[in-house]
């Protein structure tokens, strides 16, 4: 009786090769995607009140507009500054965004999560709660007048660049 020998390309060898490749693939996939993305935590929440126009709050609605309005009510006046730099309106769910020409607008949260530019902000304290809010990509600071919201150079002294977090 002849002894059975494993020949090159036999079924057993192919199964062992397939198993080894499958395990390697699983390890690579787990390494790349095994850690779930952490949701950004809230760094600061409150109304952004214009320092120069003290009765004006930064607000927005669901039509991409960002504007200053009287601080009555809270739904579209409350903003969350997230740990990843997104500035999210708690009423509309939209993110504050800007571009290099100084225009400021809001972006749907679903869109904001898929972009890495123009939606990130940082803040710098001066005295008390006075805050200068700067876009990390355009390098412009959030500014406003009695009705409009826009970005201006952070090197320029404008009272309306300053906002109270309240």
Angstrom distances, CA of residue 117 to CA of 4, 98, 114, 139: 65, 9, 10, 11
Q: Which two tokens stand for residue 124?
A: 């710098």
3-state helix, strand, coil in the chain (%, to 5): 20, 40, 45
Question: DSSP code of 139?
Answer: -
Per-residue pLDDT band at 26 (split at 50, 70, 90): very low
Question: 38: which 2 tokens?
Answer: 């952490």
90-112 pLDDT, tens per residue? 999 999 998 889 999 998 877 77
Count of all residues that appear for the chain in the document: 166
Does domain 42-165 fall into CATH 2.70.150.10? no
Percentage of residues in the chain having pLDDT higher than 90: 19
Global confidence as pTM: 0.69
CA distance 128 to 41: 23
pLDDT at res. 15? 42
Using CA atoms, how far residue 47 sits from 15, 38, 63, 70, in Å, is 63, 25, 20, 11
pLDDT tens string 31-72: 333 334 456 899 989 999 988 877 899 999 888 889 998 988
Domain boundaries, the chain: 42-165
């Amino acid at each position: 009786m002849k002894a059975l020998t494993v020949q090159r390309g036999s079924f057993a060898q192919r199964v062992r090769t397939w198993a080894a490749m499958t395990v390697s693939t699983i390890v690579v996939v787990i390494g790349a995607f095994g850690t779930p993305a952490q949701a950004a935590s809230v760094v600061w929440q409150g109304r952004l009140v214009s320092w120069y126009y003290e009765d004006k709050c930064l607000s927005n609605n669901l039509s991409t507009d960002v504007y200053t309005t009287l601080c009555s009510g809270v739904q579209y006046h409350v903003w969350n500054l997230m740990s990843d730099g997104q500035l999210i309106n708690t009423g509309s769910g939209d993110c504050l965004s800007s571009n290099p020409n100084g225009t400021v607008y809001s972006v749907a949260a679903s869109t904001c999560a898929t972009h890495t530019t123009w939606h990130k902000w940082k803040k710098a304290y001066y005295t008390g709660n006075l805050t200068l809010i700067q876009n990390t990509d355009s390098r412009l600071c959030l500014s406003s007048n009695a009705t409009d919201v826009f970005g201006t150079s952070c090197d320029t002294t404008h009272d309306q660049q300053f906002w109270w977090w309240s």
